């Protein structure tokens, strides 16, 4: 029950897999070591220092394994809920495989699991997040876009009163399309690719104005935005739907996801939103529970933006307070199933995490954010760009109970599907004209699968 196309692997020199496995991952790990050393240098307790030095030593071993292309060993039983899932997958499919000849998706995820293990077996540093500083820092450098959204949406969302029914429907449709794009492009600020960005570069990635969005819609190469609206608009008739976000990155992207979720709730299109995050640091910038709490609390109590006006700070505070209230009322629920931090693709979600599949199958719409989730949905394999999205995601579309799924993803890696009948020609043309088009994050897809009733 696998796709007929080969999965990308580190030794595929033509692919981003190769660059990632041979140079990006060691760089990311090196930065993680630097961060830990920064923390070490501020510690005073001998016990904690000695414990942390051992974490750093383990990171050194991981670095040696990665650069020496060692075989993938089982994960040490550190009490995490996902150990059995990891070791089952290694035993079943990847015995004797190394970082370069295992599928890229698996080998890359395995590196983040091993990084977690460096800390999870320690006494004092089990929950240490080597990427936390970076995640907070990037949000604090996103002030323009943060306030552009908060000043616009701090007041509860409302369509002006004196409009006809048709005009109201149109206003709501336009707002939906705009905020779906805000949510989509929020995914371009992913820290694993954008290490050391300047403030200017962040700004240009994050402009959210209307004209800007009209221009960027051209870059959505597989575009089911209208189909998505057709689905979402009828949720209200069922007394409002349940929408799930399988989250990607913390900070600015999460902030955009929340603005979007807030709109869905206030407009009565959704009544419940579930947010699915990671249990530990993952692919540098992915959301953990701590990142979730940090965002909401920093909006309400933080002093991250010394140059902001009182009105701007107040708008952010109000937005944050409203979101915290949703959480208290159970309208927003944050969850972290162990399956999300494994090396499995989502073709295997149905068989390896049936409880999660069942849970998602009760949703009216599951929105998968970002590049990694898209790779997992599509098995990260060399499918032709014309492959229909619902074919590319296998059991996530075809299994009984498969929910309606939308993938909102800026394209940052090799797998590209859902570009329509002329998709193969379009991809070929871009290959010639813009060789880096699959990793730049300039292009995107918004793809929908209708699911299959249970």
Sheet containing 220-223: which strands, arranged edge to edge? 220-223, 444-449, 405-410, 365-369, 241-246, 270-276, 332-335
Nearest distance from C-beta of residue 262 to ligand F6P, angstroms: 22
- The long-range contacts involving 28-31, CB below 8 angstroms and separated by at least 24 positions, are 28/192, 28/195, 28/284, 29/59, 29/62, 29/63, 29/66, 29/111, 29/115, 30/63, 31/130, 31/134, 31/195
| Closer CB to Mg ion, 275 or 283, in the complex | 283
Interface contacts to ligand F6P, rule CB under 6 A: 20, 108, 187, 190, 192-193, 248-249, 283, 285, 370-372, 375, 412-413
Question: Closest Cα to residue 347, out of 114, 95, 93?
Answer: 93
- The length of the chain is 454
Q: How far is the CB of 220 from ligand F6P (least distance, A)?
A: 15
364 binds, among Mg ion, ligand F6P, none (CB under 5 to 8 A by kind): none
Least distance between ligand F6P and beta carbon 20 (Å): 4
- For ligand F6P, the closer CB: 248 or 262: 248
Three-state secondary structure call for residue 272: strand
Cβ pair 246, 357 in contact under 8 A: no
User: Which residue lies nearer to ligand F6P by CB, 108 or 312?
Assistant: 108
Concatenate the DSSP letters of all residues of 275-290 into one string.
EE-BSS--TTTB-BHH
Q: CA-to-CA distance for 80 and 92, rounded, in angstroms?
A: 20
Distance CA 381, CA 6 (A): 5
Binding site for Mg ion (CB under 5 A): 248-249, 283, 286
Cα distance between residue 421 and residue 278, in whole Å: 36
319 vs 372 by CB, closer to ligand F6P: 372
Beta carbon of residue 135, minimum distance to Mg ion (angstroms, whole number): 11
Shortest distance (Å) from residue 105 CB to ligand F6P:
8
* Rg of the chain on CA atoms, in Å: 22
Q: Which residue number, 276 or 412, has a Cβ lying nearer to ligand F6P?
A: 412
Nearer to ligand F6P, 320 or 343 (CB): 343
* Cα→Cα distances 73→62, 90, 258, 275, 397, Å: 11, 8, 38, 32, 33
80 binds, options Mg ion, ligand F6P, none, Cβ within 5 to 8 A by partner type: none
111 binds, among ligand F6P, Mg ion, none (CB under 5 to 8 A by kind): none
* Contact partner, 375, from Mg ion, ligand F6P, none, Cβ < 5-8 Å per class: ligand F6P
Measured at the alpha carbon of residue 174, what is the angle toward residues 361 and 419, in degrees to the nearest 5? 60
Closer to ligand F6P by CB, 386 or 410: give it.
410
Minimum separation from the CB atom of position 250 to ligand F6P (A): 10
Task: Select 312 or 414, whichever has its Cβ closest to ligand F6P.
Answer: 414
**376 contact choice in ligand F6P, Mg ion, none (CB below 5 to 8 Å, kind-dependent):** none
8 Å CB contact between 236 and 269: yes
Q: Are 206 and 144 in contact (CB under 8 A)?
A: yes
d(CA 295, CA 303): 12
CB of 260 or CB of 326, closer to Mg ion: 260
CB of 314 to ligand F6P, least distance (A): 31
Residue 348 binds which entry of ligand F6P, Mg ion, none, with Cβ cut-offs from 5 to 8 Å by kind? Answer: none
Residue 378: contacted member of Mg ion, ligand F6P, none (CB under 5 to 8 Å, by partner type): none
- CB under 5 to 8 A by kind: which of Mg ion, ligand F6P, none does 193 bind? ligand F6P
Q: Cβ closer to Mg ion: 89 or 248? A: 248
Binding partner at 20 among Mg ion, ligand F6P, none, C-beta below 5 to 8 Å by kind: ligand F6P
Q: How far apart are CA 239 and CA 299, in angstroms?
A: 31
Displacement of CA 128 from its chain's centroid (Å): 20
Which partner, Mg ion, ligand F6P, none, binds residue 142 by CB below 5 to 8 Å per kind? none
Smallest gap from Cβ 28 to ligand F6P, in A, equals 8
* Closest distance to ligand F6P from the beta carbon of 55 (Å): 23
The nearest distance, CB 206 to Mg ion, in angstroms, is 16
């Amino acid at each position: 029950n696998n796709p007929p196309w080969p999965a990308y692997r580190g030794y595929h020199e033509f692919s981003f897999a190769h660059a990632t496995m041979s140079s990006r991952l060691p760089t990311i790990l090196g930065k993680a070591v630097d961060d830990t050393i920064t923390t070490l240098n501020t510690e005073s307790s001998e016990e904690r220092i000695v414990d942390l030095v051992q974490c750093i030593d383990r990171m050194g071993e991981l670095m040696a394994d990665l650069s020496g292309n060692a075989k993938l060993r089982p994960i040490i039983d550190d009490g995490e809920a996902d150990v059995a899932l990891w070791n089952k997958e290694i035993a079943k499919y990847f015995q004797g495989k190394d970082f370069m000849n295992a599928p890229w998706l698996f080998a890359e995820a395995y590196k983040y699991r091993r990084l977690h293990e460096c800390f999870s077996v320690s006494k004092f540093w089990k929950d240490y997040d080597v990427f936390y500083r970076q995640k907070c820092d990037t949000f604090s450098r996103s002030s323009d876009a943060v306030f552009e959204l908060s000043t616009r949406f701090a007041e509860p969302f409302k369509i002006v009163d004196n409009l006809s029914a048709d005009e109201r429907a149109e206003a709501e449709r336009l707002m939906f399309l705009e905020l779906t794009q805000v949510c989509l492009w929020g995914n371009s600020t992913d820290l694993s690719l954008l290490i050391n960005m300047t403030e200017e570069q962040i700004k240009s990635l994050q402009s959210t104005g209307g004209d800007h969005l009209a221009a960027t819609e051209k870059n959505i190469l597989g575009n089911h935005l209208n189909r998505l609206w057709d689905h979402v608009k009828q949720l209200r008739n069922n007394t409002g739907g349940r929408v799930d976000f399988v989250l990607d990155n913390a900070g600015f992207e999460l902030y955009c996801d929340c603005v979007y979720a807030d709109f869905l709730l206030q407009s009565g299109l959704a009544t419940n939103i579930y947010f699915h995050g990671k249990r530990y640091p993952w692919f540098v910038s992915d959301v953990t529970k701590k990142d979730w709490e940090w965002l909401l609390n920093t909006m309400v109590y933080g002093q991250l933006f010394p140059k902001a006006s009182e009105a701007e700070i107040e708008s952010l505070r109000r937005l944050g307070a409203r979101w915290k209230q949703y959480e208290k009322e159970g309208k927003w629920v944050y969850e972290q199933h162990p399956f999300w931090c494994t090396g499995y693709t989502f073709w295997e979600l149905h068989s390896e995490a049936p409880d999660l599949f069942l849970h998602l199958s009760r949703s009216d719409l599951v929105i998968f954010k970002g590049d990694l989730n898209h790779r997992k949905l599509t098995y990260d394999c060399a499918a032709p760009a014309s492959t229909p999205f619902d074919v590319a995601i296998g059991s996530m579309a075809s299994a009984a109970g498969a929910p309606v799924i939308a993938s909102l993803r800026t394209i940052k890696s090799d797998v590209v599907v859902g570009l329509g009948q002329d998709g193969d020609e379009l991809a070929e043309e871009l290959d010639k004209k813009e060789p880096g088009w699959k990793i730049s994050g300039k292009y995107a897809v918004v793809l929908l699968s209708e699911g299959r009733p249970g």
